[in-house]
Structure 1
């Protein structure tokens, strides 16, 4: 399968590298520093099981997606429309664009930009980071839940064969909200404290703050008519157990003085709550504090 990754950061590089290891033709659209390193020595994939240089193609130009059967779309939420417009002229007619993004509305936003192409949402559970130019470090997990489409089953089989646990689910909307709730519980706290999940949950008062944020998220989800699957409290607890040393993507963004996706996480819950008449004071506080720090670091 010919595969392209649009926005090859920690998430896109991990899945792209896993597919390349399995023999697929993978091209990455990435920043120049990553492209230069990858062209010289390949993409370094460091996991707990292996540490390898994986051969992939890389470019800063979206034209590299030309002819791809599958595009893994992993740009930041705030860049969804602009990156979609970059893709528009290069997508093959039968290509599937799979959204590997935080938040719950990116696939819908992308469909407005790419009305003549297949777009499917995916829920991503992976702990990874860019440890340097052309170097992705995997800390744990890696499961994907994919929205049904004409090509989703074939894509899921390819991912499973590449070592990526993947399922196709008719309730991707609910699964996206589950992931959003987990992000709302962990991301802002990790960003504000600049500490990993396992340390934060051992701090006095933090589990209660996370519990209250989750309760608000569930209230908004129910008001939206979303069926959130599974035991959300258990899912929240498992994150700290399975990824105790992980810093949230929001924490990594603030540490690097980059804009975060907080507007599409706790901020989205605040906006939807306001529209639906659901109070979200804890999520508003977490969102506002991250925005305060974000403004300070930008300044």
Structure 2
């Protein structure tokens, strides 16, 4: 299979690296510093069970969105804030029969992308702890499973991923699974970002679990008002994050530490906006969204 990863950050590099390691031809489309390192030395994929350099002939890198040309599968891994613009960049170059799999935070990216491109789009829910430890170096801290939306090509793609040691489930209720992941992100991401603490230390703080409970209850109320069928194990999943990824910092925390714009508008901000539209109060989510945006704005101020 020929695979292109649009937005090759930590998540995209991990899954692209796993597919290249299994023998598929993968091109990583990302930022110049990572592309240059990967083209020079290959992608360093550091996991809990192996630490390898993966490069030619199966893995290449490019800064050009046109590199999606000819790909059977496109892993769409850009920030939620860039969904429409990145979709427009790749649109002229996509194969007619390509499947574009959205591996993004938030619940509406696949729908937004379908408004931009004509190819099949399937949403995926991602449960993985990764970080870019340096140019061309992805570090995997744990997990890695995907839940993907049914499509004419989903079964074949799931089989390919599973053979590359990526656990996959095809679910008819991906909307519910996306909301469950959104709830996890709303509970952890902003708090980890504001405090710059990993999950394991974060949950030991005074009042943290009660505050997370407020956030979760609001999310559930908004989801139910929106007609979403949530999995029954949301509370267990929230608790399991700190247990299975104690050393992981949220993607929002990583963004703020690097002075980058985060996806908070599509996490707690989305819940606050959707709640307002549905008449469901979400003050805890609104406050977390406001605090993260204040930190972002402060970092961008010119002294």
TM-score (norm 2): 0.98
How far the C-alpha of 1:232 sits from its partner, in A, is 1.0
Equivalent residue, structure 2, for 1:174 = 176
Residue among 61, 66, 71 paired with 1:63: 66
- How far apart, CA to CA, are the structure 1 residues paired with 2:101 and 2:251? 20
How far the C-alpha of 1:151 sits from its partner, in A, is 0.4
Equivalent residue, structure 1, for 2:33 = 33
- How far apart, CA to CA, are the structure 1 residues paired with 2:283 and 2:85? 32
Please say if 1:49 is aligned against 2:32.
Answer: no
What SS does structure 1 have at the residue aligned with 2:93? coil
- How far apart, CA to CA, are the structure 1 residues paired with 2:240 and 2:36? 38
Describe the superposition over 1:158-188 as per-residue Cα deviations: whole angstroms up to 9, x where unpaired.
Answer: 0000000001100000000000000000000
| Structure 1 segment 139-178 matched on structure 2, within 5 A | 139-178=141-180
> Aligned Cα RMSD in Å?
0.5
| Contiguous gaps of at least 5 residues in structure 1 | none
Residue among 82, 85, 89 paired with 1:82: 85
- How far apart, CA to CA, are the structure 1 residues paired with 2:297 and 2:68? 35
Equivalent residue, structure 2, for 1:23 = 23
- How far apart, CA to CA, are the structure 2 residues paired with 1:107 and 1:232? 22
What SS does structure 1 have at the residue aligned with 2:271? helix
How far the C-alpha of 1:297 sits from its partner, in A, is 1.0
- How far apart, CA to CA, are the structure 2 residues paired with 1:92 and 1:240? 40
How far the C-alpha of 1:72 sits from its partner, in A, is 0.1
- How far apart, CA to CA, are the structure 1 residues paired with 2:3 and 2:195? 37
Equivalent residue, structure 2, for 1:277 = 279
TM-score (norm 1): 0.99
| Structure 1 segment 1-299 matched on structure 2, within 5 A | 1-55=1-55, 56-114=59-117, 116-299=118-301
- How far apart, CA to CA, are the structure 2 residues paired with 1:248 and 1:124? 13
What SS does structure 1 have at the residue aligned with 2:48? coil
- How far apart, CA to CA, are the structure 2 residues paired with 1:118 and 1:234? 33
What SS does structure 1 have at the residue aligned with 2:290? helix
Moved over 6 A (4+): none
- How far apart, CA to CA, are the structure 2 residues paired with 1:21 and 1:57? 12
Describe the superposition over 1:32-63 as per-residue Cα deviations: whole angstroms up to 9, x where unpaired.
Answer: 10111001110000011010001111000011
What SS does structure 2 have at the residue aligned with 1:130? strand
How far the C-alpha of 1:230 sits from its partner, in A, is 2.5
- How far apart, CA to CA, are the structure 2 residues paired with 1:230 and 1:157? 27
What SS does structure 2 have at the residue aligned with 1:258? coil
Q: Number of matched residues?
A: 298
Describe the superposition over 1:135-160 as per-residue Cα deviations: whole angstroms up to 9, x where unpaired.
Answer: 00000000000000010000000000
- How far apart, CA to CA, are the structure 2 residues paired with 1:210 and 1:90? 43
Describe the superposition over 1:211-265 as per-residue Cα deviations: whole angstroms up to 9, x where unpaired.
Answer: 1100000000000000001211111000000000000000000000000000000
- How far apart, CA to CA, are the structure 1 residues paired with 2:269 and 2:222? 12
| Contiguous gaps of at least 5 residues in structure 2 | none
What SS does structure 2 have at the residue aligned with 1:89? helix
